[in-house]
A = this chain, B = another copy of it.
Amino acid sequence: MARQRVTLEQVAKAAGVSRATVSLVVRDSPLVADETREKVQRTMAALDYVRDIGAARLRSNSSRTIGLIVPNLVNPFFTEFLSGVEQVMGDQDRVVLLADSHDDPLRQDAILQRFRGHGVDGVILCPAQTSDPDLLTRMRLWNLPLVQALREIGPGHGDYAGADYRDGILQALRHLRNLGHRDIAFLSVTADTSARTERSVGFAQALAQTGTRNAGIIEADLTWDAAEQSATEILATRATAVLCFNDVLAAGLILGLRRAGTKPGRDISVVGLDDLPLARMMHPALTSVAVHPRRIGNEAAALLGRRLRDPSIGPGRSILPTQLIVRDSTGRI
């Protein structure tokens, strides 16, 4: 039960130098003589010294720690994103505090306070639905660097990483039009986020640009069951093709359509957004717009790194290109 943490002090004593010198070695400062440095490094290794980053932060105000808040850990989309963030942060020798807001602004607030208490250097936030726009000013007040990702509170300013959904939707509708579709429905979500408005607007614009018609907008909760049940509503429209808010809904919808006796890809075309891995596995394989959430995660992490290095730099916005992947769920009318 012995408290047996090895401290700077002990290393210093063992190496016959002062605490301050060891501290300099730890942070590999150029001020220390090569001979001393080596001696100290040897004793550090011998004693299995591990620097206490908490104590270091107390004095220096850099915890090498960042907070990451996602609204959902079940959707593979977010976990791929998360994996992208973790990857870059690990390479920068930073550590990621992870939390799931369950799309609940109150919970999100609580998490932010907790993160604040832990002295994170910055936060990557994928905001919960209906987050208070006021949150941004509060965070500025707290002096807590923020990068938003995938979704955004309020009008876009500040660091942001996302994907060019509008263009992706345009690609999808062009593809559908080339296959002869004219009446297109949109299976949207109930949750109110910037991601939804972006895609709704993108849908409207793409309709105009491709000369196709809105056959109806159906909303469903973001679950497979809800999407499955929405199939009947979709079939009640005169749509020959459906664009879905994301692949989760598309997958559920396809299940529902099959259950209702139609053959997706032949009787009705379905396009997803996100191109989750499962898109390939479904039957019929899902035509979807690839978004590469992992890369967005990389970008978000890079943006935050940049911000931490230079807080005065202008906001960085990173909108990654998207790409339609054609599979079997879309076909000629």
Contact = CB atoms under 8 A, between A and B. Distances in A.
A240 to B, nearest CB: 22
Given A79-B73, A93-B114, A61 B3 contact: yes
Interface in A267-323: 277-278, 280-283, 311
Nearest to A311: B1
Interface string A1-21: 111100000000000000000
A75 B202 CA distance: 31
A52 interface: yes
Given A53-B118, A118-B95, A281-B278, A87 B63 contact: no
Contacts of A4: 143
A90 B115 CA distance: 12
A96 interface: yes
A114 B50 CA distance: 9
A99 interface: yes
A258 B255 CA distance: 19
Contact of A100 (B1, B87, B280): B87
A111 B94 CA distance: 10
B53 A73 contact: no
A57 interface: yes
A31 interface: no
Given A224-B277, A251-B281, A278-B278, A117 B52 contact: yes
Contacts of A118: 53-54, 65, 95
Given A95-B97, A99-B95, A282-B282, A73 B63 contact: no
Nearest to A72: B83
A97 B97 contact: yes
A152 B327 CA distance: 40
B116 A50 contact: yes
Contact of A224 (B3, B55, B73, B281): B281
Contact of A73 (B86, B117, B119, B278): B86
A74 interface: yes
A82 interface: yes
A287 B114 CA distance: 42
A213 interface: no
Contact of A113 (B50, B76, B97): B50
Given A224-B281, A282-B281, A119 B79 contact: no
A136 to B, nearest CB: 16
Interface of A: 1-4, 50-55, 57-58, 61, 63, 65, 73-74, 76, 79-80, 82-83, 86-87, 90, 93, 95-100, 111, 113-119, 143, 224, 251, 255, 277-278, 280-283, 311
6 contacts: A50-B116, A58-B58, A74-B79, A90-B100, A96-B97, A97-B97
Given A90-B100, A97-B97, 18 more contacts: A1-B311, A2-B143, A3-B61, A4-B143, A50-B113, A51-B117, A53-B119, A54-B54, A54-B55, A54-B63, A54-B119, A55-B58, A65-B118, A73-B79, A74-B277, A95-B115, A224-B281, A278-B278
